């Protein structure tokens, strides 16, 4: 989102270098890409009403002829996000967390988005609010052809929302695959541990629990070998000596492991 200037790396969107954007180019980019945050109570201006918050992007990006048109379109989005009409002129301090996240969604969607970045968007919500938000994501995927970058520790939410999943450990990508394939047959030991830790509503269907050593805090970041080496039950001598490259082992399936699929045996 360019909220901060990164110290390294590259970011490309639709073939364009995001880090090179300035001025009008950066404004144009932000009309296409928006973000919702883990804590909605800290992401909204406490001095503005819900309808003013949602209308503000239209005024900033000059997508409305005036305040009245911006407010009218904001109310349409608030209604689509199931924010009760009697709350539209209330302030963030008068909303529940679930309602605040819906306001954040309406604010992001008021522009014609192509990509919505979701950073733990349901982690602070109760079960009913989580279910409603996730179902709204699925509906917008289908109806608006909207892409999501969904960042989460909630494996059930990832499995419900995402088409492809990237697993990271200690800042490194360890596996990338279709979501169904990733959960059905994990190739990296860490992915296998994550899958086994997922909570299922039927105890008879739960995976056998896998316990891994906690490891020394921060020690994995200092390793020049495999970052998961100290916690892996399947590690060999090569894992201690060499960091595995991220290689394609199947169509669209990438894994950084010296012994892929061994974790499933």
- Using a pLDDT cut of 90, give the percent of the chain over it: 57
Q: What pLDDT, in 10s, does the model give residues 128-169?
A: 888 888 998 898 888 888 999 999 988 889 999 999 999 999
For residues 18 and 254, what is the distance between their CA atoms, to the nearest angstrom? Answer: 25
Place of tokens 């073939």: 15
pLDDT band for 46, please (50, 70, 90 cuts): very high
User: In the chain, what are the domain boundaries?
Assistant: 12-162, 166-264
Looking at residue 247, the DSSP 8-state letter turns out to be E
Q: Is 113 exposed, middle or buried (0-12, 13-18, 19+ CB in 10 A)?
A: middle
Using a pLDDT cut of 70, give the percent of the chain over it: 89
pLDDT tens digit sequence for 165-195: 999 998 899 999 999 999 889 999 999 888 8
Secondary structure of 85-112 in the HEC alphabet? HHHCCCCHHHCCHHHHHHHHHHHHHCCC
- For the domain 12-162, what is the CATH code? 3.40.50.300
As a whole number, the mean pLDDT across the chain is 88
- Placement of tokens 């316990």 in the chain: 211
Phi-psi region of 62 (alpha: psi -120 to 50; beta: other; left: phi over 0): left
pLDDT of residue 264: 46
241-255: pLDDT as tens digits: 999 999 999 999 999
């Amino acid at each position: 989102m360019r909220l901060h200037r990164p110290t390294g790396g590259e970011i490309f969107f639709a073939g364009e270098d995001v880090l090179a954007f300035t001025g009008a180019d950066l404004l144009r980019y932000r009309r296409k890409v928006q973000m919702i945050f883990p804590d909605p109570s800290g992401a909204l201006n406490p001095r503005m009403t819900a309808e003013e918050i949602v209308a503000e992007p239209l005024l900033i990006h000059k997508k409305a002829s005036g305040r009245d048109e911006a407010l009218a379109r904001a109310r349409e989005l608030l209604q689509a996000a199931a924010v009760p009409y009697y709350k539209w002129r209330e302030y963030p301090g008068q909303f529940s967390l679930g309602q605040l996240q819906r306001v954040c969604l309406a604010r992001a969607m008021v522009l014609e988005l192509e990509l919505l970045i979701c950073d733990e968007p349901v982690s602070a919500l109760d079960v009913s609010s989580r279910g409603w938000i996730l179902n709204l994501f699925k509906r917008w995927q289908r109806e608006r052809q909207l892409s999501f970058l969904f960042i989460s520790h909630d494996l059930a939410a990832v499995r419900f929302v995402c088409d492809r999943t990237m697993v990271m450990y200690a800042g490194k990508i360890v596996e990338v695959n279709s979501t169904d394939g990733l959960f059905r047959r994990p190739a990296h030991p860490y992915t296998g541990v994550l899958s086994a830790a997922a909570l299922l509503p039927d105890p008879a269907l739960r995976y056998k629990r896998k316990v891994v050593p906690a490891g020394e805090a921060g020690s994995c970041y200092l390793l020049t070998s495999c970052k998961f080496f100290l916690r892996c039950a399947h590690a060999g001598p090569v894992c201690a000596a060499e960091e595995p490259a991220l290689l394609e082992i199947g169509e669209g399936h990438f894994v950084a492991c010296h012994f892929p699929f061994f974790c499933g045996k």
